[in-house]
Structure 1
Amino acid sequence: MAIEHKDIAAIREDYSKGSLSENDTLQNPFEQFQLWFNQALDSHVLEPNAMVLGTINEAGYPSTRVVLLKDLKADGLSFFTNYTSQKGQDIARQSKVSLLFFWGELQRQVRIEGEVSFLPAEDSDEYFASRPKGSQIGAWSSPQSQIIANREVLESNVLNKEQEYKDLENIPRPEFWGGYLVKPVRFEFWQGRSSRLHDRIVYRKEHNVWTKNRLAP
């Protein structure tokens, strides 16, 4: 049976909400990212800290998923997850990753490439302690990325962990859960423009110095 669908090829939008020149951008890409991130916050962009994390899986294929940025440090961007998850296993094999932020309301995206490493345990402890109790229980209860028989497996795990930790004021962080820091070597700031002649400004880190150039759309 044929699948009915609208004309996907006809879907298009002409971008006209902004422009970006070399002179518009700051010399430090972290400062430029912070500027754009703040503007996304001020514009009430949906989930402004949502970013697509790209890794390479064991079969050599790119693997992507949305995670949440939790901190912007002087040398990198951090997120938290289960170390035994698919992304954690990918990172253990290959430390080179990519990040993508898309702020559609501003017709902007930021692409980042870099090396990822573990955050210090104390950083992971601090963030885990700040999470809602339900999220803490969830971290303990989900064997992330593993095949499970049904939803009831998760619900049973949650009930068991709630019972185990019911008398604890502070739930301990699982050893298999914590943070990563992505240290960028490349940033690309993309601003949508009319007729698909988009503005693209790229920063590359060479010998600890950031260079800045324009790319053709």
Structure 2
Amino acid sequence: MARKRCVLRWGAAVGLYWAACAAHVWRTGGLLALGLAWNMLLALLPLCFACAAGRCRLWAGRAALAVLWLLFLPNTFYMLTDLIHTPQNMEWVNAADWTVRHSENVSDWLLTLLLGTGAVLAVLLGLEAMRVFRVYCCVHWPRPAVWAGGGTVLLLCGFGMYIGRFLRLNSWDILHPLALLRRVWASMDTFQLQVTLLFAGAVFLLWLAYGALRPVDGEKQENKESDALST
């Protein structure tokens, strides 16, 4: 019952976000909010893959779902980079009387909220997807392997955010591996490394905060989930 309520809440949150994106498109005619809705769909998929992997009994099926989870996971944190689209001149100081003024364009405020809440919601989806998959891995892997795998996932998330924002590549570009490798190789420089580490560090901080916010009861729930998967 608790799992069903959790799924319903996630679904309600994403559904309301899509409705808000549709309202912005209807109000302005712009397509940026449509892109945000699409990004939110991509951010939802890793959690679906993680949950499905925990229930799948076939080894090949679990492996395929794990690969899909890893390929789409960077999409959840990618929405943090969408904050670059925040409208300009939302607040300024009037030079005449030094009073603070704010934009009265409701559409710009709606877009600002869509960008902010979208980033938060997508990050939460990504962190929950990581938690669910971590529970699954703890059942089948030793702890050192889980930690090493977690560090690798963080770096891959940072790199995925980089190639998504700067190279404009998507998860399904893995279907053309040679072209993907050529694009990545051509872009390799100090900036790529710095931004990848920066993004990975941000995801790591968010993961630490997410773990700190989970109470002891949450750890007990993880143990119950692990026991359920191992049986």
Q: What range is the shorter-chain TM-score in?
A: under 0.3
Give the number of the structure with larger relative contact order, counting CA–CA contacts within 8 Å between residues 6 or more apart. 1
Q: Name the one with the larger helix percent.
A: 2
The TM-score, its normalising length taken from structure 1, stands at 0.26
Q: Name the one with the larger strand percent.
A: 1
The TM-score, its normalising length taken from structure 2, stands at 0.25
